[in-house]
């Protein structure tokens, strides 16, 4: 991580050790954030760094999560979210636009509709005088690596007292064909031992064969089903997703007519879940999880979002190599710190 | 203020003591802001807090005022101003959107076109695992409590050397029917003794009966008139407002044709004012105050705006319970501080 | 600089000493920025100041450059970029809008389509109770003084080891008629001794007579030509520009049909340049410089952009009179600082 630039582009780059390390780091950041002293020390770590958030695909949630993560570590942020106000109206190529940012900023966090744009930019920068790290904050239908990280972090936290993630059963429910969240997490879970995956969706929205091949290659056990009811009492985790019909236009598809009613969690079918089973959702949701369930202790989706902020702060801390500093601060402040 | 969350939703919640206290606090913040030492100490107080400014109803002035207030106290800010870039395009409910913010931020400041949206959200958050304070930065035609606070602050500052606000005469002029600023201030002035209120407007734009009933209940003396000229030499305060014709569309009204020329301040009719009478305006203005008057010492509207920044900082300081710290800093720096 | 407000409005206000001083200051800021210690000390200098970036003419690059410059010195920033979200929809005059900012901020940096708007606002503020400095970040076709400063800074840095800028030959190429960058720089170069200027453009886009008169008055030697090839091996600096066809609409012109192919730098004609000749471009570019050349050591345009950030920080430091502090920090940290 010293001389070479540490990009975060695709989930394939993470091994199990990395996942365990980054989650431990996120826990330390979360702990320190709770006190003024801890938060102020965290914010002194990267006070000399500036981040560009280049989010040209609409996203409030991920944008704010990254921006908050930067602020937690004291980084200054800037953003470009609407290409209309940008130099692109003057005929500039997007690669030039982004290369400009490398002149001003120390890291570029980007969300883009093109599947491989972040990787392309990372290559351009690697060959320039001033390579800066690139973080993929979601690229097309393809990858959303930090979402996968926060999902893993949520799983690790949730099962800390129950033997960890290894051997657990997880059901993915809804629009699995286009949800890059599910695609990324399904792959990342191959780093754990004996996790069994269930893909629960109407046929038109079932998970892609590329993912299933990947699971086959890694010897992972899985099942496909259209019967949501059947898995409810079976699994440790239910990972809900919404219909991603904004892709219909681009793909020429028409999925608005698909009814995901049968793939929804209600107060009623929550009764079939085991008491320890957790419910996750990448949000935003539509009707697939009733708001009645929001205060159920098994509903993990709001905490999952907060986890995202901390895991992204941890990622930035790793990129800028201040991991040791964080654990040192935690040790120094120890339990003396007055948590608010 | 300890365990319970301190929302700022409606002006009814403030009593006279609160008003006096917050104005004294705003004075202290203003004083400290004038020196680098003082400003840096202020900015250390809430350096561990992050604020979300959710302003989906257009507003530059109030937005920037709150943002500056946050910056004065060292808070990091984020904002959502255009719902098009938000997750709402993906079919999320607005309550979910705002609840998301409670995962990332320590306070939510919101301006919204719906009359009771801020209160609704405060309730949702009160019932969640992570209640955070909500500040109403203007809701529909209904309330704009921090505008009322800054108006009171301006009055208190202006009459500090003239016996205070009690017993003063204030005229509200212009579009009183729809100006929530006037509606809020009129109610808040009932906390003072013997303030007489004049409502000066064409009949179609006269103040609502609900406000008059409220004044009646509180035994407040008032008068309604269409004769602007008659009150000019009478009052201590002239509170001007503009025609709020942006509401025409929603209400199906048509007030663009109403001529407020007779309810305008010009260099000429300023001569009728007493030398101590002050002119206020919530801004933005149109033609109702001639720019000729901007450098008249009685013109208070630019200072009124600056007052808004300080009173909002004071409100945030109260919400996060750092009031005592501020007075302590002021005492320590005392008059030794070199004011720029 | 003490009592009087220091605006930055037009390049005519700068003399040679100012140029040398600001470039030396920019070098100091650049040096300090390289270490955490230095960067943190820089960021403590103006931590008590807030800047408004009022950019109602589209510009990503200049906006981000100024914002970064503010962040380097620890200033908090706010921005207004889209007049639709502003109070102007409520019928406010733009002078009122900008005067509002003077209530909240300590400096106003503005980019505007009107040629003399920044100067107009500076006058309004000079006559108000709270004059704050105004920086012109580009006004119409007229002036872009900080672009000229960063260009001069790039020249001074590039020729530090080659006898300085005096006596050098510089060719301006492309749309010279409308590029305010070239117009500003051409004038500013009169402050140096014996600089010879070449204006290389098709007749329709040749530099304006007003600039040539200015050069004549200052006894500066120049030449006009349409023959790009002829000057390639002649000059020390080639300053490329793009076709500014966004002005066509406003001016009723039609320049889209003009082919600037003959005024483009390619891998091929780069061979005619001397080894020490540098290539500049204000960016954004179109096809007038091939991306093949981006890693050529003579390509200065990416560094030029980074120079802009540092020269703007230097300008802010001069406006707020912290120049001496910066040199003192540099002396104290000296070479002990560990540059990353």
- HSE value, Cβ hemisphere, 13 Å, CA-based, for A19: 27
Beta bridge partners of C52: C78, C108
pLDDT attached to residue A2: 34
* ipTM computed for the complex: 0.92
What is the distance in angstroms between the CA of the first residue and the CA of the last residue of chain C?
A: 35
With contact defined as 3+ CB pairs under 8 Å, the chains touching B are: A, C
Question: In angstroms, what separates the C-alpha of A104 from chain C's closest C-alpha?
Answer: 6
In the residue annotation, C97 being an active-site residue is answered as: no
> Which positions in chain C touch A96 (Cβ < 8 Å)?
283-285
Test A100 with C64 for CB contact under 8 angstroms.
yes
Do C147 and C181 meet the contact criterion of CB atoms below 8 Å apart? yes
Q: For the domain A145-304, what is the CATH code?
A: 3.40.50.1370
Q: What is the mean pLDDT of residues C107-133?
A: 91
Pick the CATH number of B11-142+308-335 from 3.40.630.10, 3.40.50.11540, 3.40.50.300, 3.40.50.1370: 3.40.50.1370
B-side interface with A, Cβ within 8 Å? 44, 47-48, 50, 52, 76, 78, 80, 84-87, 89-93, 95-97, 99-101, 103-105, 127-130
- CA dist C62 and C138 (Å) reads 9
Residue in C62, C77, C255, C277 annotated catalytic: C62
Q: Which of C46, C47, C60 to mutate to test the interface with A (most CBs of A within 10 A)?
A: C60
- CA dist C31 and C338 (Å) reads 11
> Which positions in chain A touch C64 (Cβ < 8 Å)?
52, 78, 80, 100-101, 104
By CB neighbour count within 10 A (0-12 exposed, 13-18 middle, 19+ buried), where does C256 fall? exposed
Q: How many CB atoms lie within 10 A of CB C243?
A: 23
Minimal Cα distance from C126: which residue of B?
A: B295
Fold of C11-143+308-336: Rossmann fold (3.40.50)
> Which positions in chain C touch A101 (Cβ < 8 Å)?
64
Per the structure block, which two tokens stand in for A308?
């995202």
Predicted TM-score (pTM) of this structure: 0.94
> Which positions in chain C touch B65 (Cβ < 8 Å)?
104
Test C302 with A87 for CB contact under 8 angstroms.
no
Contacts of B228 (CB under 8 A, 6+ apart): B173, B200, B262, B263, B269
Question: In angstroms, what separates the C-alpha of A331 from chain C's closest C-alpha?
Answer: 23
Task: Look over chain A and give the mean of its residue pLDDT values, rounded to a whole number.
Answer: 91
Q: Which residue in B306, B310, B312, B313 sits closest to B45, CA to CA? A: B313
Do A69 and A42 meet the contact criterion of CB atoms below 8 Å apart? no
Do A166 and A205 meet the contact criterion of CB atoms below 8 Å apart? no
Residue A214: C-alpha distances to residues A12, A225, B137, C273 (Å): 11, 19, 51, 53
Fold agreement between A11-143+308-336 and A145-304: yes
Do A333 and A39 meet the contact criterion of CB atoms below 8 Å apart? no
Q: What is the mean pLDDT of residues B39-44?
A: 98
In the residue annotation, C62 being an active-site residue is answered as: yes
> Which positions in chain B touch A293 (Cβ < 8 Å)?
none
Residue in A49, A111, A157, A168 annotated catalytic: A111
pLDDT attached to residue A89: 58
Q: Which residue in A159, A299, A171, A165 sits closest to A235, CA to CA? A: A171
- CA dist C119 and C124 (Å) reads 9
Minimal Cα distance from B299: which residue of C?
A: C129
Do C314 and C157 meet the contact criterion of CB atoms below 8 Å apart? no
Do B81 and B325 meet the contact criterion of CB atoms below 8 Å apart? no
Residue C328: C-alpha distances to residues A144, B35, B327, C153, C333 (Å): 46, 21, 33, 22, 9
- Choose among A80, A90, A95: nearest Cβ to C246: A90
> Which positions in chain B touch A303 (Cβ < 8 Å)?
103, 129
Residue in C36, C48, C61, C276 annotated catalytic: C61
- C37-91 pLDDT, tens digit each: 999 999 999 999 999 999 988 788 999 999 999 999 999 999 998 765 455 556 7
Per the structure block, which two tokens stand in for C201?
């453009």
For residue A289, the 8-state DSSP code is: B
Sign of the four-CA dihedral C210, C213, C219, C222 = positive
Question: In angstroms, what separates the C-alpha of A1 from chain C's closest C-alpha?
Answer: 14
Helix-helix angle B16-33:B145-158, to 10 degrees: 80
DSSP C161-215: GGT-STT-EEEEES-TTT-HHHHHHHHHGGGSSS-EEEEE--GGGPPPHHHHHHH
Question: In angstroms, what separates the C-alpha of C102 from chain B's closest C-alpha?
Answer: 9
Peptide bond connecting C38 to the previous residue in cis, omega within 30 degrees of 0: no
Task: Look over chain C and give the mean of its residue pLDDT values, rounded to a whole number.
Answer: 91
Contacts of C185 (CB under 8 A, 6+ apart): C147, C148, C151, C152, C172, C239
Q: What is the mean pLDDT of residues B131-139?
A: 93
- CA dist B36 and C257 (Å) reads 56
- CA dist C241 and C175 (Å) reads 6
Test C128 with B295 for CB contact under 8 angstroms.
yes
- A237-296 pLDDT, tens digit each: 999 999 887 766 666 666 667 777 889 999 999 999 999 999 999 999 988 999 999 989
Test B84 with A58 for CB contact under 8 angstroms.
yes
Test B104 with A309 for CB contact under 8 angstroms.
yes
Question: In angstroms, what separates the C-alpha of C131 from chain B's closest C-alpha?
Answer: 12
In the residue annotation, C99 being an active-site residue is answered as: no
| pLDDT band at residue B92 under the 50/70/90 scheme | confident
Peptide bond connecting B284 to the previous residue in cis, omega within 30 degrees of 0: yes
Give the A:B interface size as CB pairs under 8 Å.
83
Query: What is chain B's alpha carbon radius of gyration, rounded to the nearest angstrom?
Result: 20
Do C83 and C111 meet the contact criterion of CB atoms below 8 Å apart? no
- Choose among A50, A80, A87: nearest Cβ to C71: A50
Test A305 with B100 for CB contact under 8 angstroms.
yes
Per the structure block, which two tokens stand in for C8?
């930055």
pLDDT at B335 over 70: no
Q: Which sequence spans correspond to the domains of chain A?
A: 11-143+308-336, 145-304
Test A286 with B48 for CB contact under 8 angstroms.
no
Beta bridge partners of C53: C79, C109
> Which positions in chain B touch C104 (Cβ < 8 Å)?
64-65, 68, 305-306, 309
- C241-293 pLDDT, tens digit each: 998 877 666 666 666 677 778 899 999 999 999 999 999 999 999 889 999 99
For residue A108, the 8-state DSSP code is: E
- A136-172 pLDDT, tens digit each: 999 877 788 999 999 999 999 999 999 999 999 999 9
- CA dist A265 and B227 (Å) reads 63
Lowest mean pLDDT among A302-316, B155-169, B258-272, C18-32: B258-272
Residue in C112, C144, C168, C169 annotated catalytic: C144
CATH architecture label of C145-245+252-304: 3-Layer(aba) Sandwich (3.40)
- Choose among A60, A283, A303: nearest Cβ to B85: A60
More confident residue, B59 or C246: B59
Test A302 with B85 for CB contact under 8 angstroms.
no
pLDDT attached to residue B78: 97
Peptide bond connecting A284 to the previous residue in cis, omega within 30 degrees of 0: yes
Minimal Cα distance from A293: which residue of B?
A: B128
Do C320 and C49 meet the contact criterion of CB atoms below 8 Å apart? yes
């Amino acid at each position: 991580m010293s001389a070479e630039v540490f990009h975060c582009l695709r989930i394939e780059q993470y091994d199990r050790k990395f996942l365990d390390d980054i989650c431990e780091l996120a826990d330390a950041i979360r702990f320190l954030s709770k006190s003024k002293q801890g938060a102020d020390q965290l914010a002194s770590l990267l006070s000399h760094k500036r981040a560009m958030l280049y989010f040209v695909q609409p996203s409030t949630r991920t944008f704010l999560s990254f921006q908050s993560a930067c602020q937690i570590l004291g980084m200054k942020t800037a953003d470009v979210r609407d290409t209309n106000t940008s130099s692109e109206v003057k005929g500039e190529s997007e690669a030039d636009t982004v290369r400009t940012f490398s002149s001003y900023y120390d890291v570029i966090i980007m969300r883009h509709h093109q599947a491989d744009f972040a990787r392309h930019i990372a290559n351009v920068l690697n060959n320039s005088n001033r390579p800066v790290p690139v973080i993929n904050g979601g690229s097309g239908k393809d990858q959303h690596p930090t979402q996968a990280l926060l999902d893993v972090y949520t799983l690790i936290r949730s099962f800390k007292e129950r033997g960890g993630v290894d051997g657990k059963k997880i059901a993915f429910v809804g629009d699995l064909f286009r949800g890059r969240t599910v695609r990324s997490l399904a792959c990342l879970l191959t780093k754990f031992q004996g996790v069994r995956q269930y893909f629960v969706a109407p046929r038109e929205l079932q998970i892609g064969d590329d993912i299933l091949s990947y699971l086959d290659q890694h010897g992972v056990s899985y099942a496909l089903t259209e019967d949501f009811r059947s898995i409810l009492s079976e699994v440790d985790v239910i990972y809900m997703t919404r219909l991603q019909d904004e892709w219909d236009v681009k793909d020429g598809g028409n999925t608005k007519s698909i009814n995901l009613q049968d793939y929804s969690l209600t107060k009623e079918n929550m009764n079939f879940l085991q008491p320890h089973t957790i419910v996750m959702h990448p949000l935003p949701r539509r009707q697939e999880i009733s708001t009645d369930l929001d205060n159920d202790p098994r509903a993990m989706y709001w905490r999952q979002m907060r986890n995202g902020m901390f895991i992204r702060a941890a990622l930035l801390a790793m990129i800028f190599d201040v991991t040791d500093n964080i654990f040192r601060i935690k040790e120094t402040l120890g339990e003396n710190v007055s948590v608010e």
